[in-house]
Amino acid sequence: MFVCAVLAAVLLHTHYQAEGENKLLACGTVADFWSEEVLAEQLGITNNITGKQLFRENCSQCHAFQVKVVGPALGGVTDIRNKAWLQAFISNPAKLIESGDSAAVALYREFKQYMPSNDHLTAAAIDSVISYLKYESEISKHR
C-alpha cells in the first residue's frame, strides 16, 4: 500500500513538473508530504518534529506563521532575528523588554502585552522550536 502511495506521489509530482508548475500539491496529500520533504532536502533543512510539537503546545495559541493572532506572525522571524535573540525572547520576553532591547520593546508597544515566559523550556527545547520556525519559514517561501 505504501509503495503504491509513493509511486502515485512520484507520478503526480512528475506530471506537475511536466506541466511547468513548480508548486506543492494540495495540503494533506501524500504528494504534498513527498514534495515538502524533497524541497526541504534541496534547501538543506530538516523538519524538527520535537520543535513542531513544542510550538503546538506552547506557541500556537497566540502565533501563526502568515498572520498576526494575539502575537506577531512568525513566518520569516529566523531571517530577521538571530538565534541568540530568539532564545532570549522565547525564554523570558519580559526580561529582554525590560533590558531596553529595541526590537523587544517595539513588540511590546505594538501588542501591548508581555508574551508569557517559557522559562520552563530547556535551552535544547527552545533550539528545537527555533529550528521548526526556520523550517516552516523556508518551506512557506516555496508554497
Longest dimension (CA), the chain: 57
Contact call for residues 142 and 39 (beta carbons, < 8 A)? yes
Region 115-121: mean pLDDT is: 94
Tens of pLDDT along 76-99? 999 999 999 999 999 999 999 999
Tens of pLDDT along 21-73? 444 434 455 445 557 677 767 777 777 789 999 999 999 999 999 999 999 99
The more confident residue out of 91 and 13 is 91
Would you identify the CATH topology of the domain 47-143? Cytochrome Bc1 Complex; Chain D, domain 2 (1.10.760)
Predicted TM-score of the model (pTM): 0.71
The Cα–Cα gap between 51 and 53 comes to 5
The more confident residue out of 115 and 43 is 115
**Single-letter residue type at 96:** L
110 pLDDT band, cuts 50/70/90, is very high
Q: Within 13 A of 28's CA, how many CA atoms are on the CB side?
A: 0
Q: What is the pLDDT of residue 49?
A: 87
Could you tell me which residues come within 8 angstroms of residue 80 by beta carbon, excluding any fewer than 6 positions away? none
Question: Is the pLDDT reported for residue 20 higher than 70?
Answer: no
The Cα–Cα gap between 100 and 120 comes to 23
- Cell numbers standing for residue 21: 508548475
**Single-letter residue type at 82:** N
Instruction: Please list, residue by residue across 116-125, b when 16 or more beta carbons sit within 10 angstroms of its beta carbon and e when fewer do.
Output: eebeebeeeb
- Cell numbers standing for residue 116: 508569557
Return the domain boundaries, the chain: 1-44, 47-143
